[in-house]
C-alpha cells in the first residue's frame, strides 16, 4: 500500500508484533479450586506484524473494533509495553527504553486514565510537569497561558480537579499533556463520554495544536466525527493486522465504491421509469422521491439520466456515512487491501 505522506517519518514500525500470555479460569468454585492446582495458559496475538510510518505533523486515526489491537499499538509506541518482535523507532528512540529524551518529547492521553491529582487544583499537576520536563518559568507561564486560552479553562486552573466536570477534566488532561510542548501526541479515546459541545471544543483544540505547533497526532477513537474532523489519514487494525492505511477519502472509495443519490421530482415517479438504468442498485421509489446507489464511475451518467425523468426539485449525491462504512467493515471483518 502506498503511504499517503512524504514527510520524514517520526514513527517507523516494521513487523511490529505483540503477544500476551494469560491463564484461563472456569467460572464457579470448582473452576477456582482447579486453577489453584493446574492452570491452562494461552497466548494471544494482539498485534500481528504491523508495518507503517508516520511523518512529522501528520494527524492519523487508528481505527478498529474493540480488541483489535489499537490500544496495544499505542502502548508500544508510547513505551508502556515492550514489543514481542519487530522494529519500532519513534523520534529515533526505541520507546520501551523510556529514555528521558524520548519521554519529554511525547505525551499520551488516555480517555479513561488521569494524569491529574484528584484532590488538588490542576495547577499543582501542571507545576509538577514544569519540574519533570525541566521547563523554565517563562516557558511554563507562556505555555499555560496559551493552552488555557485555547481550551477556555483559565477559571478552572485553581479548582480542585474532583470538582470539575468530565469535559472540563479532559480539557485539563490535554493541557497537562501539552504543557511541555511534545512533538508527538498519542490520544486514546480522548472524547469518550463527553457531550457534543465538549467534543467539538476538544476537536477544534487538537486541530489548532496540530496547526500551530506542528504536533504529530495519533488518535484512536470510536467516534467517527473525531476522525473526520481531525484525520487526513486513517489506519484500520483488525485482529491485530493492519488492514488499511490511507486517506479517509480512499477508505470511503475502497470500502464503499458507490455514491448515494437522492432525487426529488415535482411529481410522483413510476419505478419502471428507472428500468434499464445501468450501474445502479438499491433503488427505492417513494412518491416523488428516488433513492439509489450508483457506481462511482457511472455517477455522472446516472445523474444525467435522472434529470430526464421529469422536473427535478432536489438532487443530492453523497458518499456513504463514515460511521456506516466502519460498522459494515467491522461486521464483515473484511480485508480491504494488502497490509504493507
Partner 1 sequence: MNALVRNLRVVRRMTAADIAQQSVYRGAWIIFMLANICMPIISLLIWRTALASGAQLPVDERYITTYFVLLGVVTMATSSWMAGFLAQDIRLGKLSSWMIRPASLLAGFVANNLSEKFLKLFALVPMIGIVWWIFRDSMNIPAGPGRWALFAISILLGAMLVFTIDILIASLAFWMDDVSALVQARVIIASVLSGSVVPLALMPEWSRGFVDHQPFRYTVSFPVEIVAGQLTGPELLAGLGFQLGYVVVFAAITRLVWSAGIRAYSAVGA
Nearer to partner 1, 82 or 333 (CB): 82
Q: Which residues bind partner 1 (CB under 8 A)?
A: 20, 71, 75, 78-82, 98, 100, 103-104, 106-108, 110-115, 117-120, 124-125, 127-129, 131-134, 188-189
Least distance between partner 1 and beta carbon 212 (Å):
23
Judge residue 139's burial from the number of C-beta atoms within 10 Å of its C-beta, 0-12 exposed, 13-18 middle, 19 or more buried: middle
Nearer to partner 1, 221 or 256 (CB): 221
Least distance between partner 1 and beta carbon 20 (Å):
6
Judge residue 188's burial from the number of C-beta atoms within 10 Å of its C-beta, 0-12 exposed, 13-18 middle, 19 or more buried: buried
Least distance between partner 1 and beta carbon 72 (Å):
9
Nearer to partner 1, 135 or 292 (CB): 135
Least distance between partner 1 and beta carbon 105 (Å):
9
Least distance between partner 1 and beta carbon 99 (Å):
9
Nearer to partner 1, 188 or 226 (CB): 188
Kind of pairing between the strands at 289-295 and 216-220: unpaired
Q: What percent of the residues of the chain are helix, what percent strand, and what percent coil, each to the nearest 5?
A: 40, 30, 30
Region of 67 on the Ramachandran plot (φ > 0 left; ψ -120 to 50 alpha; else beta): left
Task: Give me 255's grid cell.
Answer: 470500502
- φ, ψ at 255 (rounded to 5°): -80, -35
Nearer to partner 1, 104 or 239 (CB): 104
Contacts of 26 (CB under 8 A, 6+ apart): 34, 35
Q: Which residues pair with 233 in a beta bridge?
A: 60, 247
Nearer to partner 1, 126 or 153 (CB): 126
Least distance between partner 1 and beta carbon 308 (Å):
54
Amino acid at each position: 500500500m502506498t503511504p499517503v505522506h512524504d514527510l520524514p517519518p517520526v514513527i517507523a514500525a516494521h513487523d511490529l508484533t505483540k503477544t500476551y500470555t494469560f491463564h484461563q479460569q472456569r467460572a464457579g468454585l470448582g473452576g477456582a479450586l482447579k486453577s489453584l492446582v493446574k492452570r491452562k495458559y494461552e497466548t494471544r496475538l494482539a498485534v500481528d506484524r504491523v508495518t507503517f510510518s508516520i511523518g512529522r505533523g501528520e494527524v492519523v486515526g487508528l481505527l478498529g473494533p474493540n480488541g483489535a489491537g489499537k490500544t496495544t499499538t499505542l502502548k508500544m509506541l508510547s513505551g508502556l509495553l515492550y514489543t514481542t518482535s519487530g522494529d519500532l523507532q519513534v523520534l529515533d528512540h526505541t520507546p520501551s527504553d523510556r529514555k528521558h529524551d524520548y519521554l519529554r518529547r511525547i505525551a499520551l492521553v488516555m480517555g479513561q486514565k488521569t494524569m491529574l491529582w484528584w484532590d488538588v487544583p490542576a495547577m499543582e499537576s501542571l507545576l509538577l510537569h514544569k519540574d519533570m520536563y525541566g521547563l523554565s518559568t517563562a516557558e511554563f507561564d507562556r505555555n499555560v497561558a496559551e493552552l488555557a486560552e485555547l481550551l477556555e479553562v483559565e477559571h478552572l486552573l485553581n479548582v480542585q480537579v474532583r470538582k470539575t466536570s468530565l469535559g472540563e477534566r479532559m480539557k485539563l488532561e490535554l493541557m497537562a499533556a501539552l504543557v511541555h510542548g511534545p512533538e508527538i501526541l498519542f490520544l486514546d479515546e480522548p472524547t469518550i463520554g463527553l457531550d457534543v459541545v465538549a467534543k467539538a471544543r476538544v476537536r477544534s483544540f487538537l486541530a489548532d495544536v496540530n496547526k500551530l505547533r506542528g504536533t504529530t497526532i495519533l488518535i484512536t477513537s470510536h467516534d467517527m466525527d473525531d476522525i473526520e474532523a481531525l484525520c487526513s489519514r486513517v489506519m484500520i487494525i483488525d485482529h491485530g493486522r493492519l488492514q488499511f492505511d490511507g486517506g479517509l477519502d480512499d477508505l470511503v472509495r475502497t470500502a464503499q465504491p458507490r455514491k448515494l443519490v437522492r432525487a426529488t421530482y415535482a411529481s410522483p415517479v413510476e419505478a419502471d421509469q428507472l428500468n434499464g438504468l445501468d450501474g445502479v442498485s438499491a433503488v427505492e421509489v417513494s412518491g416523488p422521491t428516488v433513492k439509489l446507489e450508483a457506481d462511482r464511475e457511472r455517477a455522472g451518467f446516472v445523474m444525467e439520466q435522472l434529470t430526464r425523468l421529469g422536473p427535478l426539485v432536489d438532487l443530492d449525491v453523497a458518499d456513504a456515512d463514515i460511521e456506516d462504512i466502519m460498522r459494515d467493515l467491522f461486521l464483515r471483518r473484511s480485508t480491504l487491501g494488502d497490509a504493507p
